[in-house]
């Protein structure tokens, strides 16, 4: 290494399922894409259980997710990180943002926001109108804590989807860091954890594209480095709905691991031989490690599966 030049950080990626139900084919696509992007670049692949939204967690789902990943031949580096065990770390970051004047208390209920919002947000909700930005209204108590956003464009270039830009002040408004129920918001938890784990590359589903500028803004507020992003096309059903627990996506079956891996690879544009689906997961991974082509992944946000 030349003197005076910083070392290039080693690739460190992650897969971060939420234990709200078992893994399904859409989850598998994200796991396969992130895993192979890490492994074919000599990087690490970390596993995080994004269980910060504890009321939505299904008992036993986390353990089922880990067992499914093992049955499908995934091998992660280091211990699993559990967001439900990291409230102290999130609280320290929120306190720092408070002291810096970047976070403020909000007394608004959902109904009040719905009544006063003037435009929809990019993620399908409502853009926060800034009611409490200058201070809590008289006689009102804090419910949540929000992060101030600035005017101007927040943009990034996605490795698959190209350039994406948002005007956060208009498109989202000041967003929540700690909810009215006392739980920390996903946006805060994911940014803090990515920094704590030294994540350099994030490969995940395109359903999270709209939230990425918020995460980048928070990274900038905290002085964190911004990872590279690649948002894979999400798997949708014949009606165009993203596969999920809500759309009754079936759970992955361990006995069909090789066939499902082949299916996920083909979804991601890889010409894997169909006969490998009748073999062992190890044989599929061996082929994928030798033939993976990131450039072959479709540059789409969603792909509907045949009925």
Residue 204 pLDDT > 80: yes
User: Can you give the pLDDT at residue 99?
Assistant: 98
Per cent of the chain over pLDDT 70 is 97
Residue 33 Cα distances to 16, 143, 216, 265, angstroms: 13, 39, 22, 8
Q: Give the separation between CA 183 and CA 208, rounded to whole angstroms.
A: 20
Lowest-confidence region among 4-8, 107-111, 282-286: 4-8
Which are the catalytic amino acids?
A: 245
Q: 12-87+198-208+225-304: what fold?
A: Rossmann fold (3.40.50)
- Across the range 262-290, mean pLDDT stands at 97
Q: Residue 229: its pLDDT value, please? A: 98
Tens digits of residue pLDDT in 42-80: 999 999 999 999 999 999 999 999 999 999 999 999 999
DSSP 225-251: PPPEEEEEPEEE-TTSPBPSTTTTPPB
**If you average pLDDT over residues 210-223, what whole number do you get?**
98
Q: Are 58 and 22 in contact (CB under 8 A)?
A: no
Burial class of residue 242 in the structure, from the number of CB atoms within 10 Å of its CB (0-12 exposed, 13-18 middle, 19+ buried): middle
Q: Model confidence over 133-186: pLDDT tens digits?
A: 999 999 999 999 999 999 999 999 999 999 999 999 999 999 999 999 999 999
Please name which of 298, 227, 213, 238 lies closest in space to residue 264, comparing C-alpha atoms: 298
Q: How confident is the model at residue 117 (pLDDT cuts 50, 70, 90)?
A: confident
Split at pLDDT 50, 70, 90, the class of 8 is low
Identify the pLDDT of residue 28: 98
Asked which of 116-120, 155-159, 198-202, 267-271 is least confident by mean pLDDT, the reply is 116-120
Q: Is 211 left (phi over 0), alpha (psi -120 to 50) or beta?
A: alpha
Segment 210-218 shows an average pLDDT of: 97
Using the CB atoms, write b or e for 26-37: b if 16+ within 10 Å: bbbbbbbbbbbb
1 — pLDDT class (breaks 50, 70, 90) = very low
List the domain boundaries for the chain.
12-87+198-208+225-304
Work out whether strand 162-167 and strand 153-158 pair parallel, antiparallel, or are unpaired: antiparallel
| Exposure letters 118-155 (e unless 16+ CB within 10 A, then b) | eeebbbeebbbbbbbeeebeeeeeebbbbbbbeeeebe
Query: What pLDDT was estimated at residue 102?
Result: 98
Give the closest residue to 114 by CA, choosing from 94, 128, 103, 93. 128
Q: Is the pTM of this model over 0.85?
A: yes
Q: Given this model, what pLDDT does residue 7 score?
A: 56
Confidence of residue 2 (pLDDT cuts 50, 70, 90): very low
To the nearest whole number, what is the mean pLDDT of the chain?
A: 94
Q: Distance between CA 209 and CA 73 in Å, rounded?
A: 28
| CA–centroid distance for 20 within its chain | 14
């Amino acid at each position: 290494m030349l003197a005076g030049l910083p070392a290039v950080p080693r690739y460190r990626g992650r897969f971060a399922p939420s234990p709200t139900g078992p893994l399904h084919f859409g989850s598998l696509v994200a796991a396969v894409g992130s895993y192979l992007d890490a492994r074919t670049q000599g990087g690490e692949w970390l596993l995080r259980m994004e269980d910060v939204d504890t009321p939505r967690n299904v008992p036993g789902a986390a353990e089922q997710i880990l067992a499914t990943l093992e049955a499908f031949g995934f091998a992660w580096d280091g211990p699993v990180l559990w967001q439900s065990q990291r409230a102290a770390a999130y609280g320290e970051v929120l306190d720092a943002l408070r002291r810096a004047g970047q976070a403020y208390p909000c007394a608004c209920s959902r109904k009040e926001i719905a009544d006063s919002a003037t435009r929809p947000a990019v993620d399908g909700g409502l853009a926060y109108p800034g009611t409490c930005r200058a201070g809590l209204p008289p006689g009102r108590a804090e419910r949540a804590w929000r992060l101030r956003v600035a005017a101007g464009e927040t943009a990034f270039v996605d490795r698959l989807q190209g350039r994406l830009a948002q005007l956060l002040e208009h498109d989202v408004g000041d967003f929540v860091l700690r909810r009215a129920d006392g739980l920390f918001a996903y946006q805060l938890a994911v940014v803090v954890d990515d920094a704590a784990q030294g994540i350099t590359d994030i490969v995940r589903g395109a359903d999270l594209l709209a939230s990425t500028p918020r995460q980048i803004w928070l990274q900038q507020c905290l002085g964190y480095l911004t990872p590279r992003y690649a948002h894979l096309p999400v798997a949708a059903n014949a009606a165009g709905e993203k596969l999920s627990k809500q759309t009754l996506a079936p759970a992955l079956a361990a006995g069909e691991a090789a066939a499902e891996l082949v299916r996920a690879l083909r979804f991601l544009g890889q010409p894997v031989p169909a006969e490998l689906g009748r073999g062992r997961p190890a044989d599929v991974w061996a082929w994928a490690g030798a033939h993976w082509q990131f450039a072959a992944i479709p540059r789409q946000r969603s792909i509907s599966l045949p009925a």
